[in-house]
Structure 1
């Protein structure tokens, strides 16, 4: 069995495991850093414990319970916040592997940080490693994201989607210059995977399964344990299309 792979996971998805943060936030809730993705759908597959995911979207505020066996997913533009209810553990499946790590995820920081790319990057980027300095920075980052999130949620619950829409626009402006690099990641990852399937279908249609001669199997294991992710302590895999760790620049 091959242990290192040149092929991405099925569908060129990203994969990680999260243990949700148990840090209490300003509203008394324990959990992660609210954020959205610009072009990627994210899914949670709950493997242990209890909790919830709070979401903000055009259909309002939702609090979705999470328990073992639950699956929840959210499309681009949906603000989401993982909430710890007791030993919550989640396997995360991420569309377009490589794009979230390249900045597709934007935190719900207060507007003044979102308006300044340098200040945003300084608040979003963590020191390397998994030591106390990194933990303290991750907690500060989470608290800033919750500060902005609570303002968005309060307005949305009151029927005013203006601040939520403003945040979406600010997030789009913040990442605009990265789109060419993202497009290359997409072409090399998700798009190439879909095109490979099309080529295989063409081969089968002509009765030529020669491509099956390259069949093989792969195995891997986490390459970093307990990293500080957006929502919790994160076990990561160095797989094609991904860059570790998440970064804001």
Structure 2
């Protein structure tokens, strides 16, 4: 029997937001942005804040149990823990984002090699260095919005978008093909097959129906992710690949 898949090919994990302080004194994760995947935060326990930068400005929201936010590609985001913040993270297309669909707003990223070295964190020290560099860059983007200088803020954000698209293209990843072969595409094919079977009054695709309890994966291991220590609810081939490369060449 094949492993179960979460609805619509999503990835879902429990994240304990980092408690170490960044260069601005706030405790939390690494600001970053996705170019392909939509994401969702749901507060589980503790208290903190979620910070966002998008084309309409800088936004800061309280985040606690029951609070939820969904944000689309092009939104720079950051989690801050005030009191042991734990968040449920729901990610489109399984863990595609953790496997490369993420760009960091480093204050001074240098050339592509310097950027890649900083982005590909595999140790506790390198995770903090990546976080600190991204926090400085995030605050540079946010400060213009905070000061009401919207023209400068929009110019900076457009420049970051341009650089982000260039960096992703330079990776050489064929994202359209990756998405076409990913978990969301598999889930959509299965959905269409079930709908077609119902249209034909054919019950054959109902026979494999089953329930699968999904407790968070045991600790250890917890993966040092971008926002905090991440515990997936379901190991998938993409997640297993991520575990095998957590100290190698891909950002986590």
**Which TM-score applies when normalising by structure 1?**
0.87
Conserved 8 A contact 1:8-1:240: no
Distance change >3 Å, CA 20–CA 248, structure 1 → 2: closer
Name the structure 2 match of 1:248: 251
Aligned counterparts, 1:184-199, within 5 A: 184-199=178-193
Extract unaligned runs of 5+ from structure 1.
128-133
User: Cα–Cα, structure 1 residues 226 and 192, in superposed 2: closer, same or farther, change >3 Å?
Assistant: closer
- The equivalences for 1:12-161 within 5 A come to 12-113=9-110, 116-127=111-122, 134-157=123-146, 158-159=149-150, 160=152, 161=154
Distance 1:98 1:173, change over 3 A: same
C-alpha displacement of 1:182: 5.5
How many equivalent residue pairs? 238
Distance across 2 between alignment mates of 1:59 and 1:36 = 15
Deviation at 1:74, TM superposition (A): 1.0
1:176-191 alignment, distance < 5 Å = 176=169, 177-181=171-175, 183-191=177-185
Counterparts in 2 of 1:152 and 1:57: CA distance versus 1, 3 Å = same
Distance 2:33 2:203 in 1: 42
Greater CA drift, 167-176 or 5-14 = 5-14
Q: Distance in 1 between matches of 2:29 and 2:177?
A: 28
CA distance in 2, matches of 1:210, 1:228: 42
TM-score (normalizing by structure 2) = 0.86
Q: CA deviation at 1:42?
A: 0.8
Task: Give structure 2 stretches of 5+ with no counterpart.
Answer: none
- C-alpha displacement at 1:198, in angstroms? 1.3
> What is the CA-CA distance between 1:98 and the residue it aligns to?
3.1
Question: Matched residues in 2 for 1:102 and 1:20: separation?
Answer: 19
2:29 is aligned with 1:8: no
CA gap 1:121/1:58 in 2 versus in 1, 3 angstroms: same
1:60-104 deviation per Cα after TM superposition (whole angstroms, max 9, x unaligned): 000011011111121101000101110100011000113112210
Asked if structure 2 preserves the Cα contact closer than 8 Å seen for 1:102 and 1:182, the reply is no
Output the CA distance in 2 between the equivalents of 1:181 and 1:168.
Answer: 17
Judged with a 3 Å threshold, the aligned counterparts in structure 2 of structure 1 residues 248 and 229 are, in CA distance, closer, same or farther, namely closer
User: How large is the Cα RMSD of the aligned pairs?
Assistant: 2.1
Give 1:131's aligned residue: none
